A and B are shown apart, each in its own frame.
Chain A
Amino acid sequence: MKKDLFSESVRLAYIVKDLRRTFELWGYKEIFLPSVEEYSPNLRKGTKFAYNNKFYMFKPDPTSQILANLKEKRELKLYYILEVLNGATKGEWQAGIEFIGGNDLMLQVEGILVAITALENLGINEFYIDVGSLEVWKKVLKGIEEYKPQIITALSRRNFEEIESLPIPSAKKEELWKLFNFRGKKCEYQKLNKIIEAINDKRVFVDFGTMRILPYYSDIIFEVYSPKFGKPIGGGGEYEIKGMKAFGFAFNLKAILKLYEGDLEKTRKIISGDLKEAYNKAKQFVRLGIPVKVRK
Chain B
Amino acid sequence: MRFVLPKGRLLTGSVEILQKAGIEVRPPQGRELITKNGEYSFLLAKSFDVPVYVEHGIDIGIAGNDIVEERESDVFVPLELPFGKCRLSLAIPKEKSVKVEEMDGFRIATKYTNLTRKFFDKRGIEVEIIKLHGSIELAPKIGIADAIVDIVETGNTLLANDLIELEKIMDISAVLIVNRISQKTRFEEINDLILKLKGVVEDGF
Contact = CB atoms under 8 A, between A and B. Distances in A.
A227 B180 contact: no
B126 to A, nearest CB: 18
Interface stretch (B3-11, B76-84, B105-113, B162-170): B76-84
B183 A230 contact: no
Interface in B144-189: 178-185, 187
A217 interface: no
A159 B178 CA distance: 11
B181 A158 contact: no
Contact of B79 (A128, A130, A159): A159
Given A130-B184, A225-B181, A227-B185, A161 B80 contact: yes
Contacts of A209: 183
A160 B178 CA distance: 14
A230 B2 CA distance: 12
A159 B179 contact: no
A102 interface: no
Given A128-B184, A130-B184, A183-B187, A229 B80 contact: no
Interface in A140-193: 157-161, 181, 183
B181 A229 contact: yes
Contact of B56 (A159, A161, A226, A231): A231
A78 to B, nearest CB: 28
Contact of A231 (B55, B76, B78, B183): B55
Which one of B58, B78, B181, B191 has the highest number of Cβ atoms from chain A below 10 Å of its Cβ?
B181
Interface in A216-272: 225-227, 229-232
Interface in A182-206: 183
B57 interface: yes
A229 B79 CA distance: 24
A207 interface: yes
A207 B185 CA distance: 12
A231 B74 contact: yes
Contacts of B77: 157-159
Interface string B22-41: 00000000000000000000
A225 B184 contact: yes
A256 B40 CA distance: 28
A227 B191 contact: no
A100 to B, nearest CB: 29
Contact of A161 (B79, B182, B185): B79
Contact of A160 (B56, B57, B78, B182): B78
B172 to A, nearest CB: 16
Interface residues of A, number: 18
Contact of B181 (A157, A161, A227): A227
Interface string B65-89: 0000000001011111000000000
B191 A181 contact: yes
A231 B185 CA distance: 12
A75 to B, nearest CB: 34
A10 B40 CA distance: 39
B76 A230 contact: no
Contacts of A160: 78
A282 B56 CA distance: 46
Nearest to B76: A158
A178 B184 CA distance: 16
B57 A230 contact: yes
Given A159-B78, A181-B191, A128 B185 contact: yes
Interface in B89-103: none
Contacts of B191: 181
Contact of B184 (A157, A159, A181, A207): A207
Contacts of A128: 184-185
A172 B191 CA distance: 21
Contacts of A158: 76-78, 178, 183
Contacts of B187: 183
Nearest to A230: B57
Nearest to B79: A161
A161 B191 CA distance: 14
Nearest to B201: A161
25 contacts: A128-B184, A157-B77, A157-B78, A158-B76, A158-B78, A158-B183, A159-B77, A159-B79, A159-B80, A160-B78, A161-B78, A183-B184, A207-B184, A225-B180, A225-B181, A225-B184, A227-B181, A229-B57, A230-B56, A230-B58, A230-B179, A231-B180, A231-B181, A232-B180, A232-B181
